[in-house]
Chains A and B, each alone.
Chain A
């Protein structure tokens, strides 16, 4: 019977790992510059961390990997982490002490969600950041700028931002008299192209439905769009007043930072735990990440109102986009050594020198073909001690010492 990997799970091959590490390193470099500290939360969490209203949608919860732990006789389940942000917020509330303080956390993590076909991955990797404490337009802009810089550091250009605001959408839907659950449901249906969801509501609240259709049907390119909306609807729909002001302030800061953006309310799908500003980031036309403001999450866990926002970048998608040509160590820097055990000391000395200079050195197993290499070195107890063969030029050099062999190869 052939042993196979689990359906919906994937291996990362050596090339994919090079890509993965490249994305991760770029993210962490930028993360340090922005003052974010890396944290790591466990793979297993209690299910109830994710079940409270306003965290994950019931649709998501039905697809989590939940089970009883070995000491789960109480009947409460644990899950393979289905989301990265909620555990980081839990970590914050556990360590925050009596006073809320500002925390800048970054992470690289996997998360698990069942996907029926097994074609899309059930295990996903992402790197992200959470800014807990500040709740201003500046905080939103810091997160957007961090996400964009990280993606640029990966060598990707053609960045586009699509910006939305969950509070604004929720304000209009709540003015229609919809409950929290109905708001989520109807908004997701509208975004799936089902505008008939609004028909039954239009007769009762024509102005709110009109505002919603206009917001969803228009892509704004400056805060002027929002100011127009304010002029048209703020008086009739007071529920959206504060969200509009907040969104305009954030847009003004983002614009001043010189970032390219589009106001697109259809980019708010799955907005259950978001409360304010939402963004999606595209690179080379691919959606590579997103985030937003979730001001109620800390309060739901700790009882203390602390604003917070964050974003995640999708490593799997970014890794597929980046160029890794420069990361390969070329054949000319690969050395294979065939060593007689009696002269292991000399061989090790030469290998150390070469590796420190950036070469890849492998010890050849007798009779086994080695990877393609630029140099083959034979180390013997006689004279000369080192026989250095340049595979490209097909030339042999005889060297008496490790230093001489090192100098011949050069690893330049």
Chain B
């Protein structure tokens, strides 16, 4: 009998690895330095494990790709709160993985059951959009908007969100970010989850018994703790009117920072503390009338379209993904910065007898099960499935390392590639290049109401354009 296990990379790995070793699972390659995704057991012949981002695991176990998974309670709850009939069950908590998901707001904006907001809509941002929506309903907010984020939620209040959901070790960490704690949503301790069908029909006892013998008792899950207010009444804050001539510029965090810094330097635009060693998300810029925040590039198109920012530097891939979700969105490309070139491609396993998307369409007509398309770009993937009339499809959202999904967990990938070598290494082939992506300046392309702001944006874009023309 084969046992399929989904194990997380990242924060929980250092504590899960010794636990599994003690349980005798023999997954010798499950360690922080490993370079493989697929793990074999040296002690149990039928055991096959794979490494995922933690948030991928509840989805992978729910769709039945894996019998057992280990992830934080936060990601399990994020899945269950929106999809209560998901085919997963929480079996045990593992007694480690300190921390919780907290709801937080700007200090002073929440008092005695009322929350100050800038407009009629309470904006909730975070990496847990389903928990955010459930929180809004629980707090009985009349109007709310949820901004799903890839990260950096702490950067959003007060200008860009009233409430943020953050995963942190304890409330002190929330306060150290300069935020006021609203309450705890759910703990993020590690838990053992199992596919319902596997639990019903498969003998998993060798694995479960071996784990049971090495883990202690743990507290049961407490969801939406009593520390949260029962309901919140929203009041419109009496704030001075915003200066509409100020340009709100979003700059990327992560590996793009050095490229952006190089271009800004070449343009003679001075920027302090970017990249920041202390995690400063509001660096100063030498241009008058500009305000900067550092956020995830994936989140920028939405943040421009909803009016939180005026300009941003991100990849065209994320702009196109956004346009597939919101075709009439007012955000558009203002300048191609020509670095970070990648191709966005459709990919299948080498063994699949197709070489084009058209052939894939014919091939899928004979298939007995839905086509599984894994992608970080879920909207591009969804559009690809529709345009190519692939019939019944399942779009599987991923958060990195998508190339490892084929063949067990997906049939097709929508993936970015620079040279194609990673794809070749993973026994994959490209069947279509959808488009090329480079970094670009994006902004709201609709008519601007403030003349000075419009001139500042045009001047900024013109200055970068001129710089690009003279850069090697």
Contacts and interface: CB of A to CB of B under 8 A. Distances in A.
B310 to A, nearest CB: 15
Q: Which of B81, B231, B368, B370 has the most CB of A within 10 A?
A: B231
A73 B302 CA distance: 6
Q: Which of B137, B141, B368 has the most CB of A within 10 A?
A: B137
A72 B137 contact: no
Contacts of B146: 75, 77
Contacts of A62: 81, 134, 137
B325 interface: yes
Contacts of A117: 85
Contact of A116 (B85, B134, B306, B369): B85
A235 interface: no
A404 interface: no
B160 to A, nearest CB: 11
A51 B145 contact: no
B419 interface: no
A76 B145 contact: yes
Interface in A65-112: 66, 68, 70-77
B328 A70 contact: yes
Q: Which of B81, B84, B367 has the most CB of A within 10 A?
A: B84
B392 A1 contact: yes
B142 A181 contact: no
Contact of A1 (B302, B306, B322, B368): B368
Given A1-B368, A51-B142, A75-B145, A181 B230 contact: yes
Contacts of B147: 75
Contacts of B329: 71, 73
A75 B140 contact: no
Nearest to B322: A73
A356 interface: no
Contacts of A66: 133
Given A70-B327, A73-B305, A76-B121, A48 B231 contact: no
B326 interface: yes
B391 interface: yes
A179 B230 contact: yes
A58 interface: yes
B386 interface: no
Contacts of A75: 121, 123, 145-147, 302, 306
A62 B133 CA distance: 9
A116 B84 contact: yes
A177 to B, nearest CB: 14
User: Which of the four size classes fits the interface of chain A?
Assistant: 20 to 34
Q: Which of B140, B143, B369 has the most CB of A within 10 A?
A: B140
A198 interface: no
Nearest to B136: A51
B290 interface: no
A51 B137 contact: yes
A356 B75 CA distance: 65
B129 to A, nearest CB: 9
Nearest to B123: A75
A353 to B, nearest CB: 47
Given A68-B325, A71-B326, A48 B138 contact: no
Interface in B403-421: none
Contacts of A70: 325-328
Contacts of B368: 1
B123 A53 contact: no
A53 B368 CA distance: 47
Interface string A150-187: 00000000000000000000000000000101000000
A348 interface: no
A58 B84 contact: no
Contacts of B305: 73
Interface in B28-70: none
A1 to B, nearest CB: 6
A218 interface: no
A53 B392 CA distance: 39
Given A62-B134, A116-B84, A179-B230, A51 B141 contact: yes
Nearest to A48: B143
Contacts of A179: 230
B144 A53 contact: no
Nearest to B132: A75
Interface string A19-55: 0000000000000000000000000000010011100
Nearest to B139: A58
A74 B391 contact: no
Contacts of B141: 51
24 contacts: A1-B367, A48-B143, A51-B140, A51-B142, A53-B140, A53-B142, A53-B231, A58-B140, A68-B325, A70-B325, A70-B326, A70-B328, A71-B326, A73-B322, A73-B329, A74-B306, A75-B145, A75-B147, A75-B302, A76-B144, A76-B145, A77-B146, A116-B84, A181-B230
Given A68-B325, A76-B144, A181-B231, 4 more contacts: A52-B140, A66-B133, A73-B306, A75-B302
